[in-house]
Amino acid sequence: MDLRDSEEQAAFRKEVASFISDEAPKAKKGVSGVAALAGSWEASQGWFQKLADKGWIAPAWPEEYGGAGLSVMKQFVLSEEMALRSAPRPGHLVIGLGMGGPTIISHGTEEQKREFLPSIIRDRDIWCQGFSEPESGSDLASIKTRAVRDGDDWVINGQKIWTSFAHQAVWMIMIARTDPDAPKHKGMSYFVVDMKSPGITVRPITDMGNGQLFNEVFFDNVRVPARNMVGEENRGWYVATTTLDHERSAIGSTTGLKQQVEAMIVFAQEHIEDHTSSLGKNPMLRYELADRMIETEMARMLSYRVISMQNRGEVPNHEASMLKLYSSELQQRIAATYLHLLGLYGLLGSGSPLAPANGRHGSAYVSAVSATIAGGTSEIQRGIIATRGLGLPKN
């Protein structure tokens, strides 16, 4: 693993930095992502269009599908610079861009690529992921949602849960059981489903942070064209693992974790004399902040390991699980440290005149609970690391 940029990578890094400086909307101080756009939806759309014009909204995708066809290392440089400079990212497209699209590129037919991929970039369609079910979360292969062939269609009945963006999504990537008699890893298939199809009901779930990102989705005799099956019939598990590998190997998030800790340190320094920071009263918090900063560097090294493997043409498996496990648990520790720093003021919610940052950190603490569940629980990740990384027996 070489931590230095090559001449080509250094030149590309300079190009990206200059583009962001010249073209990106100016962010609010201390805020990143779409929220940084001062509430301007038009500004965000203009910025995303500029990224799309360069192929940078989906930099890994082939150029013929609207991407830039960048090398693995250039993708990393772009992602890192975007995160370092708090450039707005199309977070609402994360499932289509980072999971559904790459899976179709890997396993889809040419017809599927032509039909689905351009709309993610051109129309910025929102996608959702229909994997988890009420009794099939961590044990994903035990899904019960059924798909039965009827002429040129598959008819789907069942339920999905914890489906992010389902209330806004145009398309869903999902797995359903197509052979109930086959071993559970072999009797499922992978579909792309039009969320406007008759028989689909979406019911939002209000989470602990009073947000409504998650949803329940019910399928009542939903007809899906047979051409929308991705990969081979009854081999959807292997297609789904491609989706999960992309979900667990995100690179830019580790830079974001470091920025959170840096922002926390600045806040502690600026408020050391007032009631919103416990740093003056509790010097041990200095050690806690130092631990968090060291841990973000560890997360960055794990992400570098993943990207280095991809650059060599290897497919990270347990290595991606290590990154996902460590980063999601670190996200929870960072959120807890923020509350330690704020003391009781960290418990105040949005709308309270005394809540620092309008209660954002208290909401982040509650939201972080799901970090070790989404994308595969910590227990699942440890199982993958143990069996595939350390060679330990499954039973």
**Cα distance between residue 330 and residue 16, in whole Å:** 28
- Select from 83, 34, 35, 24 the least CA-distant residue to 357: 35
Given the residues 80, 81, 133, 247, the one annotated as active site: 247
**Cα distance between residue 90 and residue 61, in whole Å:** 16
**Cα distance between residue 259 and residue 265, in whole Å:** 10
Which ranges in the chain belong to alpha helices (H)? 7-23, 41-54, 72-84, 94-95, 101-107, 110-122, 236-248, 252-270, 285-311, 318-342, 360-367, 378-384
- Select from 73, 92, 74, 76 the least CA-distant residue to 84: 76
Amino acid sitting at position 261: V
Amino acid sitting at position 44: S
**Cα distance between residue 192 and residue 111, in whole Å:** 13
**Cα distance between residue 117 and residue 122, in whole Å:** 9
**Cα distance between residue 356 and residue 326, in whole Å:** 28
User: With contact defined as beta carbons under 8 Å apart, do 252 and 224 qualify?
Assistant: no
**Cα distance between residue 395 and residue 381, in whole Å:** 16
Q: How far is CA 22 from CA 17, 18, 33, 88, 132, in A?
A: 9, 6, 17, 14, 42
Q: How far is CA 52 from CA 108, 225, 374, in A?
A: 22, 30, 28
Query: Any catalytic annotation for residue 247?
Result: yes
Q: Encode 37-78 in three state secondary structure.
A: HCCCHHHHHHHHHHHHHHCCCCCCCCHHHCCCCCCHHHHHHH
Q: Which residues are catalytic?
A: 247
